[in-house]
A and B are shown apart, each in its own frame.
Chain A
């Protein structure tokens, strides 16, 4: 008897569901070891996490509030990942979107909420798109590695935002906190049902359908899929790789920028340092876990939102670092990556001699 590994011709469908579920369970199991050896009761920690994510209608609404930017940013990254363009700069693009929206409020304040929000969205998408499109141009024209350039742009964006909120845009009444003045009312996205869930919810739902259509049903989506799976074939078919890179990068940056604008306009109502809580990186996991399927990403974003809400609760109620929940995120990703092997390959015992 010996172990035999065969490539599956068709990836197993039911494993596509069981692998992620088992991955989450195993990540929590390993995570509990970490907590246990740190002298923290895993049972208590997970109970705190679960109850703060799903415990009441209010908790649930807060989980959705956290899931909204995750969903939106993961949608933003999907078009890039589909063509194997590793844009990990959604964090910086979202920050730039928020910065541009705040600039619109500061320099062009308007009473009419439609005009104000419209201008903010326009600014946000433009700057987010340019921030990412810049990396796209570097990639297309000079083949500069986009992983590095988008990452460095993240750090530059963080410092850029700090410059404004610590410097010229700081609210004198903020008692030294790095934040701008509160936005005027017309610059706030309305909230729904008396919760903190804002109109961004509808934006997310609309974008989900749009992305699904673009990626799965449109000519453009088909093109970037072909480029992603076989760049050479795409080239021979007359598809323009360089143009697609710039376009896709701009497009994904624009959506990430919009996500940043929704966050400051719908939730914070002002620009402040560190408001993204590194959504940009978590969203990459969301995109990957949902197999770049926009419809699935809604569900995954919700679960990741729950994990983040749980991380906050661990800090507030148990005094643990917020980053504790990123252990779980990393572990889930490890197990999913490992698990993907099982639906690409079949393992069996070879009974013969």
Chain B
């Protein structure tokens, strides 16, 4: 256990950016909008968070700015997909390309600069718990915030009126519209907030986790988050489980590399990706077609009030 706890604590840290992005995507998908641009949004969040932290010296301002910029990108996605009814898959690809290009251009003078970022502190009371204390409650504030977010989102989605409305517009926008819900406006709202959370995950990478900026530093985590949503079956708690599982594979893989294992690094680095496919497969085989029942029924389908079919 003594050797395992540092790896588990590292797993929580490296799973946190994926967790934020996954929670953001869950919000968007619950409202019926797929956003495949997570990779691009996270990169923009990572860059903006880093630049603002660097120039103001405040990591919290940096993270706030990352959230706001993510919201702007979510607004763009919502405009194209909600108002104009564009193809959501292609729109997400465009977002990924735009985000990776724009962050590379704007971040080119910030490579190799370090910031001090956020520091870990033990959470009073909980940090003394055996094992769990060291793994979960000796982290930075953003990790604690993500715990709270998981609980809040779970309660919001399942036990509140607005949460039920959110599920309604994603499952049956026509009925929700007849009930008097402003479907388009709500979808805008969840796209903006969801993309903000996604960008916050990117900001965590540069401001807290790495404390530097590097071109393309998100390295596929955005896409893994998209997969995580399915793994989690749109449930925030399962999203946390999935994110830490992947963080665990990553931390374990890093540990093996520094320990000088005979296994070549590229093969170890395949692990998280291979595991994503494996996990999706296990879920699909285990649940059969019922996975479709858990997905928001109107996911990816544009909704226009005027159209009747």
Q: Which residues of A contact B (CB under 8 A)?
A: 5, 7, 34-35, 38, 86, 88, 138, 142-145, 147-149, 151-153, 155-156, 159-160, 162-163, 166-167, 281, 284-285, 288, 320-321, 323-331, 333-334, 337-338, 340-341, 344
Contacts and interface: CB of A to CB of B under 8 A. Distances in A.
Given A34-B102, A155-B220, A321-B215, A338 B86 contact: yes
A152 B273 contact: yes
Given A144-B280, A148-B276, A324-B105, A337 B100 contact: no
Contacts of A143: 284, 289, 291-292
A344 B87 CA distance: 13
Interface centre among A155, A160, A340 (most CB of B within 10 A): A155
B277 A341 contact: no
A337 B87 contact: yes
A190 B93 CA distance: 35
A235 B271 CA distance: 38
Which interface residue of B40, B102, B106 has the most chain A CB atoms within 10 A?
B102
B291 A324 contact: no
A333 B274 contact: no
Which 3 pairs from chain A and chain B are nearest by CB? A330-B98, A326-B101, A327-B101
A309 to B, nearest CB: 16
Nearest to A138: B281
B293 to A, nearest CB: 12
Contacts of A88: 93
Contact of B105 (A149, A151, A321): A321
Contact of B267 (A151, A159, A324, A327): A159
A203 B120 CA distance: 58
Given A143-B284, A152-B227, A326-B104, 12 more contacts: A34-B105, A148-B276, A152-B223, A162-B266, A327-B102, A330-B99, A331-B94, A333-B97, A337-B87, A337-B91, A338-B79, A338-B84
Nearest to B36: A147
A327 B98 contact: yes
B89 A341 contact: no
Nearest to A314: B105
B89 A86 contact: yes
Contacts of A38: 105-106
B84 A144 contact: no
Contacts of A284: 90, 93
Interface of B: 36, 40, 76, 79-80, 84-87, 89-91, 93-102, 104-106, 108, 215-216, 220, 223, 226-227, 230, 264, 266-267, 269-270, 273-274, 276-277, 280-281, 284-285, 289, 291-292, 306-307
A161 B269 CA distance: 12
Contacts of A162: 266
A281 B227 CA distance: 18
Contacts of B273: 152-153, 155-156, 159
A156 B86 CA distance: 31
A166 B264 contact: yes
A323 B86 CA distance: 25
Contact of B94 (A149, A325, A334): A334
Contact of A152 (B84, B216, B276): B276
A132 to B, nearest CB: 13
Contacts of A338: 79-80, 84, 86
A153 to B, nearest CB: 7
Given A281-B93, A285-B93, A324 B230 contact: no
Nearest to A135: B277
B91 to A, nearest CB: 6
Given A148-B226, A330-B98, A5 B280 contact: no
A142 B111 CA distance: 44
B108 A320 contact: yes
Nearest to B268: A159
A102 B281 CA distance: 31
Nearest to A37: B106
B84 A163 contact: no
15 contacts: A34-B102, A144-B277, A144-B284, A145-B280, A151-B223, A160-B266, A284-B93, A285-B94, A320-B105, A326-B97, A327-B101, A334-B98, A337-B84, A338-B84, A344-B85
Given A327-B105, A334-B76, A156 B98 contact: no
Contacts of B87: 337
A21 to B, nearest CB: 18
B274 A156 contact: yes
B212 to A, nearest CB: 16
Given A156-B270, A333-B94, A323 B105 contact: yes
B277 A166 contact: no
B97 A330 contact: yes
Contacts of A151: 223
A88 B39 CA distance: 14
Contacts of A152: 223, 227, 273-274, 276-277
A334 B40 CA distance: 14
| Max count, chain B CB within 10 A of own CB: residue among A151, A163, A329, A338 | A151
Contacts of A330: 40, 94-99, 101-102
Contacts of A155: 220, 223, 270, 273
A331 B101 CA distance: 10
Most buried by A among B89, B215, B216: B89
B24 to A, nearest CB: 17
A253 B277 CA distance: 18
A155 B272 CA distance: 10
Contacts of B97: 281, 285, 326-327, 329-330, 333
B284 to A, nearest CB: 4
